[in-house]
């Protein structure tokens, strides 16, 4: 019977160790969510009051509405019994909306730096991409969001279950607290608008192609189980055989020249396909100018 006692002690010790590790991971995620950043954003060179509403609406169509809703009044973003829930905020000036109290500086800090007025990082909201937006585009976006009709909708305080915090600490979702990864004191260059390699790079950065297709755009496997590989977009991949018309049509219809239907749950072509012809041509020029890299999965 001694052996049973020893097995009991070993198993009990293991359970205790696992509980301690889990507790440590939960505490680490909680402290990352509550970490504060003290950033005073540089004022935009284009006054928000002069922001181009059409430019702002174009960006909102391609990005903001996908998460903050058609009326930008926010609502449930994800909800799962084992993970918890997180809502996308109401961006309007209606009841429950952040627009009612946000200053111009708050808007710039949240979108460009990923930092909320209380100093903590945004979660999920892709500021690591919006960080690249030039002053004119950002002023247009803020002016447009401020111009939409107020929506009265209260948004719930987010709630993440301990299991979600453990998964987050293990890196299962990647890094989604974007204030942690943004280089706050560097401003990326803002090339002139045009059909050029430089402007194509600007669009690729601010639309977030690299966050899925990899830093070098040579391909990356999304973290979700069962997700398709985000393919190699350099001339080392399938795109080497495409024309600019093939590329534009793929982005607009979600069907590649080879007939593959792109899964919109993983490749957001419905939003990105709203880029104008000139914008898509600039993106294509940039992709074609990249070195031909071997396909990677990370």
Binding region for ligand HEC (CB under 6 A):
59-60, 63-64, 66-68, 77, 86, 88-89, 91, 98, 110-111, 116-117, 122-126, 130, 141, 145, 204, 207-209, 211-213, 222, 228, 230-231, 233, 237-239, 250, 256, 260, 262-263, 266-268, 272, 283
12 vs 254 by CB, closer to ligand HEC: 254
Q: Min. distance of Cβ 136 from ligand HEC in angstroms? A: 14
CA distance 74 to 95: 12
Residue with tokens 């590989």: 229
CA distance 125 to 67: 9
141 vs 290 by CB, closer to ligand HEC: 141
Question: The dihedral of CA 229, 234, 236, 242: what is its sign?
Answer: positive
CA distance 129 to 111: 9
130 vs 202 by CB, closer to ligand HEC: 130
Q: Min. distance of Cβ 138 from ligand HEC in angstroms? A: 9
Tokens of 290: 């990249």
Q: Min. distance of Cβ 279 from ligand HEC in angstroms? A: 9
CB atoms under 10 Å from CB of 208, counted, come to 17
140 vs 166 by CB, closer to ligand HEC: 140
Q: Return left, alpha or beta for 293; rule: phi > 0 is left, psi -120 to 50 is alpha, else beta.
A: beta
Q: Min. distance of Cβ 164 from ligand HEC in angstroms? A: 14
Q: CA nearest 29: which of 151, 163, 149, 168?
A: 168
Residue with tokens 């440590």: 24
28 vs 65 by CB, closer to ligand HEC: 65
Backbone angles phi, psi at 284, to 5 degrees: -60, -45
139 vs 212 by CB, closer to ligand HEC: 212
22 vs 222 by CB, closer to ligand HEC: 222
Q: CA nearest 206: which of 191, 221, 220, 196?
A: 191
Backbone angles phi, psi at 290, to 5 degrees: -70, 155
Q: Min. distance of Cβ 24 from ligand HEC in angstroms? A: 23
Q: Min. distance of Cβ 69 from ligand HEC in angstroms? A: 10
2 vs 291 by CB, closer to ligand HEC: 291
Radius of gyration of the chain (CA): 22
Q: Min. distance of Cβ 39 from ligand HEC in angstroms? A: 14
Q: Min. distance of Cβ 114 from ligand HEC in angstroms? A: 9
CA distance 250 to 247: 5
């Amino acid at each position: 019977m001694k052996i049973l006692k020893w097995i009991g002690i070993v198993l009990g010790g293991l359970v205790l160790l696992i509980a301690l590790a889990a507790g440590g991971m939960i505490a680490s995620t909680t402290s990352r969510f509550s970490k504060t950043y003290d950033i005073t954003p540089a004022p935009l060179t284009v006054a928000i009051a002069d922001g181009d509403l059409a430019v702002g609406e174009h960006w909102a169509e391609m990005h903001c509405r996908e998460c903050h809703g058609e009326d930008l009044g926010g609502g449930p973003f994800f909800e799962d019994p084992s993970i918890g829930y997180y809502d996308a905020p109401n961006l309007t000036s209606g009841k429950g909306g952040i627009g009612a109290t946000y200053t111009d500086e708050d808007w710039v800090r949240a979108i460009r730096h990923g930092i909320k007025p209380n100093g903590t990082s945004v979660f999920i909201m892709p500021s690591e991409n919006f960080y690249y937006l030039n002053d004119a585009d950002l002023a247009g976006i803020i002016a447009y969001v401020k111009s939409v009709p107020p929506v009265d909708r209260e948004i719930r305080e987010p709630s993440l279950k301990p299991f979600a915090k453990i998964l987050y600490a293990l890196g299962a979702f990647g890094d989604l607290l974007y204030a942690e990864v943004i280089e706050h004191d560097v401003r990326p260059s803002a090339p002139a608008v045009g059909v050029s390699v430089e402007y194509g790079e600007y669009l690729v950065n601010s639309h977030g192609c690299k966050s899925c297709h990899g830093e070098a755009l040579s391909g990356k496997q999304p973290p979700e189980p069962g997700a398709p590989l985000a393919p190699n977009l350099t001339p080392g991949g399938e795109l080497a055989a495409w024309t600019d018309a093939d590329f534009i049509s793929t982005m607009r219809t979600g069907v590649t020249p080879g007939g593959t239907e792109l899964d919109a749950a993983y490749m957001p072509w419905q939003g990105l396909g709203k880029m104008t012809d000139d914008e898509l041509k600039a993106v294509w020029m940039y992709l074609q100018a990249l070195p031909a890299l071997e396909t990677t999965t990370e």
